[in-house]
Amino acid sequence: MIMGIASGKGGTGKTTVAVSLAAAMGEKVNLLDCDVEEPNAHLFLKTQHKESKIVKVMIPKVDEELCNGCGECSSFCQYNAIITPGPKPVVFAELCHGCGGCALVCPKKAISETQKRIGTIEISEGDDITLIQGKLDIGVAMAPPLIRSVKAHLNSHDVSIIDSPPGTSCPVITAIRGCDFVLLVTEPTPFGLNDLKLAVDMVRNLGVNFGVIVNRHGIGDNRIHDFCKANGISILLEIPDDREIAEAYSRGESVVEALPHYRRAFEGLASSIRGMLLNRGE
């Protein structure tokens, strides 16, 4: 079972939910921190470092002796990562997605590939939780290939929880594609509703089962509930706006660890998701 935790914007408590759910599963869990620009699940876990890996992607390298300047490579590249402003193409490695297409279309076989480091994967282990954390190098804007490298550690034996990046763009889609279930974490405010609507469109377009968690319940209004009711969306958990949760967060403690009375709520969440997937035959 692969569960994704997502939110239309940052700061809604996505990681709090991911870590607490992992701790409440009651079995072996792989927690994949795919929020690779700012991974922070490790702050709330007592895991021991096991392994580090450097992640590289292939980027094109042009042999100017072979190149005839035809520009086919530039026409092919959707990301403007290789352009031909003069007689020979220029590669912008930071824009390249490493698809290898430019090399395939080059009629002169003038493009080979070279490796570029984009970030790291850190693997650490606790009692029941294995944390696989991706971290982009500073100044690198290539989250999707790093997220794919983190997701390559998914295995079919254990429950996996993916803490996705915030938003609704490419990195999030890369993170949650293939999940059995996605939890959309939001706050009961007008901004929260706006971002939730975008996130709902995203998961519906991907065809992924999903439910909503309302964090800091009590701070705003009922718009999230009204929207969910009108659109047949299940609210699976409401986490109150509790000062004790904020204090636990600031101490780097997961909610279920610091405040055991919340454990039951997260255990209930885990069994609700299992039940929903079972009913759908997944």
Q: Determine the 3-state secondary structure of 252 from DSSP.
A: coil
Q: Does 145 bind ligand SF4 (CB under 6 A)?
A: no
Q: Does 69 bind ligand SF4 (CB under 6 A)?
A: yes
Residue with tokens 């809604």: 12
Among 106, 172, 182, 213, binds ligand SF4 (CB under 6 A): 106
Q: Does 191 bind ligand SF4 (CB under 6 A)?
A: no
Q: Does 140 bind ligand SF4 (CB under 6 A)?
A: no
Q: Does 110 bind ligand SF4 (CB under 6 A)?
A: yes
Q: Does 71 bind ligand SF4 (CB under 6 A)?
A: yes
SS3 content of the chain, % helix, strand, coil (to 5): 35, 30, 35
| DSSP state at residue 256 | H
Among 4, 60, 119, 166, binds ligand SF4 (CB under 6 A): 60
Q: In what order do the strands lie in the sheet with 129-136?
A: 48-62, 111-125, 129-136, 29-33, 159-163, 2-6, 181-186, 209-217, 235-240
Q: Does 84 bind ligand SF4 (CB under 6 A)?
A: yes
Point out which span in 5-13, 23-31, 100-108, 245-253 binds ligand SF4 (CB under 6 A): 100-108
Side-chain-facing half-sphere of 249: CA atoms under 13 Å: 15
Q: Does 89 bind ligand SF4 (CB under 6 A)?
A: yes
Q: Does 111 bind ligand SF4 (CB under 6 A)?
A: yes
CB atoms within 10 A of CB 252: 13
* Nearer to ligand SF4 (CB atom), residue 73 or residue 185: 73
Going by C-beta distance under 8 Å and a sequence separation of 6 or more, which residues neighbour residue 246?
Answer: none
What residue ranges bind ligand SF4 (CB under 6 A)?
A: 60, 62, 67-73, 76-77, 79, 81-82, 84, 89, 96-102, 106, 108, 110-111
